[in-house]
């Protein structure tokens, strides 16, 4: 692609030890899990999975393979500190033994909860997971290896089946922070696109926009790395091409496969290259206004593209040419086309365009701006001030 080349530099790279991808591939759990352990503590992501018999089917598969099944909980919202502490208490009261694992079947919330519980089950220096969270706790580090985690995502968005952090929230005091360690990356990621078919359209839309935002921001992050920069353009190409189809035609196999692959790639990319402004503000929107993460990312991505184009225009143009499979007369035209494509996609998915449409008040804006400067914002290619963030939020109000 003209005008840009991926620079090789020293880097480290983390990802699951094994990825199993494909329609119906959850069947492989019966042959895979006995290689790693003999008992699974199970966390589910929705009552729908239970009602549809997905969990019962997996339980029978694993028990026939000699793996003991210990159900813990179902979670259908972003995990709170109290959730992690309560489920960790369950695991400790049952008692650990060699061969124990965590199995998460659900969206990002279930997998993040499983990763945090896996870490806390073997690390008891602190009284709560909050003691280990970035910038809010006691700064404790994991001294013992977490239990192995096997992740089976049922949404195509967060990519948390491939990340090295678990995002945990609190209502009092309000925050959304990460427990971060290379050892919480799932041991095995079983990515079965068939499991995403029953997601409601609004979940397909918001989770897909989360993946798109992760692919873009990891590509231009000031911590960008060669391997993520090779993966992100392909993930973005798949997502921009197929997300609307997955939203409109839930049973469309090719669309669901493409979005599952895009989400997986987005998780690998963000785990190794970081994110940026859109995710920084999205976290604050979640804490201050209770806005779901994917919806917040969809709201902020065009603004982030406009804010960063002056410093990473060549990178964004490269990304656009690959993702849209088109050439453009110059880099500015390419970036314009990417912004237009994202905004058109939001319209096609019937996502809100203004902050006031999703319950954000003008009085919240200073607090949202002040809360936007976490780990994600530190990866933004262009340094941002609180005043600039407030101006951007006001323009979207």
State the maximum Cα–Cα separation within the chain, in Å, rounded to a whole number.
64
pLDDT band at 32 (very low <50, low <70, confident <90, very high): very high
- Average pLDDT of the segment spanning 39-46: 96
- Looking at residue 8, the DSSP 8-state letter turns out to be P
Helix axes 331-348, 201-220, angle to 10 degrees: 160
The pair of three-digit structure tokens given for residue 218, joined into one six-digit string: 């990891």
pTM over 0.75: yes
Q: What is the pLDDT of residues 242-280, one digit of tens each?
A: 999 999 999 999 999 999 999 999 999 999 999 999 999
Strands (E), 45-191: 68-74, 100-106, 149-153, 165-171, 174-180, 188-191
Tell me where in the chain the CATH 1.20.1090.10 domain(s) lie: 200-395
Residue spans in the chain of domains classed CATH 3.40.50.1970: 25-191
Instruction: Give the integer Cα–Cα distance in Å for 188 and 107.
Output: 15
pLDDT band at 2 (very low <50, low <70, confident <90, very high): low
Measured in residues, the chain has a length of 397
What's the CATH fold of domain 25-191?
Rossmann fold (3.40.50)
Neighbours of 169 (CB within 10 A): 21
**Rounded to whole angstroms, how far apart are CA atoms 78 and 68?**
27
What's the pLDDT tens digit per position in 281-325? 999 999 999 999 999 999 999 999 999 999 999 999 999 999 999
What is the domain class of 200-395 according to CATH? mainly alpha
**Cα–Cα distance between 218 and 195 in angstroms, integer?**
26
């Amino acid at each position: 692609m003209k005008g840009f080349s991926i620079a090789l530099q020293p880097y480290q790279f983390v990802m699951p030890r094994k990825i199993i991808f494909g329609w119906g591939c959850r069947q492989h759990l019966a042959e895979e899990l006995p290689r790693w352990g003999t008992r699974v503590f199970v966390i589910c992501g929705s009552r729908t999975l239970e009602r549809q018999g997905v969990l019962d089917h997996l339980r029978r598969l694993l028990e026939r393979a000699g793996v003991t099944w210990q159900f813990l909980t179902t979670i259908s919202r972003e995990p709170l500190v109290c959730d992690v502490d309560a489920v960790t208490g369950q695991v400790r009261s049952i008692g650990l033994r060699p061969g124990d694992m965590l199995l998460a079947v659900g969206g990002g919330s279930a997998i993040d909860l499983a990763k945090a519980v896996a870490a806390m089950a073997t690390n008891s220096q602190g009284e709560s997971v909050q003691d280990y969270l970035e910038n809010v706790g006691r700064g404790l580090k994991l001294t013992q290896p977490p239990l192995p985690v096997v992740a089976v995502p049922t949404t195509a968005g967060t990519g948390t089946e491939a990340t090295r952090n678990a995002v945990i929230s609190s209502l009092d005091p309000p925050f959304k922070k990460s427990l971060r360690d290379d050892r919480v990356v799932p041991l095995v990621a079983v990515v079965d696109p068939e499991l995403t078919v029953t997601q409601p359209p609004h979940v397909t839309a918001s989770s897909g926009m989360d993946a798109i935002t992760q692919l873009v921001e990891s590509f231009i992050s000031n911590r960008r790395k060669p391997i993520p920069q090779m993966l992100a353009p392909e993930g973005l190409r798949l997502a921009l091409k197929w997300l609307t189809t997955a939203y409109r035609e839930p049973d469309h196999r090719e669309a669901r496969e493409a979005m599952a692959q895009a989400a997986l790639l987005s998780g690998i990319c963000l785990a190794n290259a970081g994110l940026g402004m859109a995710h920084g503000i999205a976290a604050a929107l979640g804490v201050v206004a209770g806005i779901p993460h994917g919806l917040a990312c969809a709201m902020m991505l065009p603004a982030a593209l406009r804010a960063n184009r002056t410093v990473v225009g060549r990178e964004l143009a490269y990304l656009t040419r690959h993702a849209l499979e088109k050439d453009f007369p110059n880099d500015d035209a390419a970036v314009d086309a990417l912004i237009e494509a994202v905004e058109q996609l939001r319209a096609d998915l019937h996502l809100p365009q203004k902050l006031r449409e999703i319950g954000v008040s003008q009085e919240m804006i200073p607090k949202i701006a002040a809360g936007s400067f976490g780990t994600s914002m530190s990866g933004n290619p262009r340094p941002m001030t609180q005043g600039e963030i407030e101006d951007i939020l006001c323009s979207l109000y």
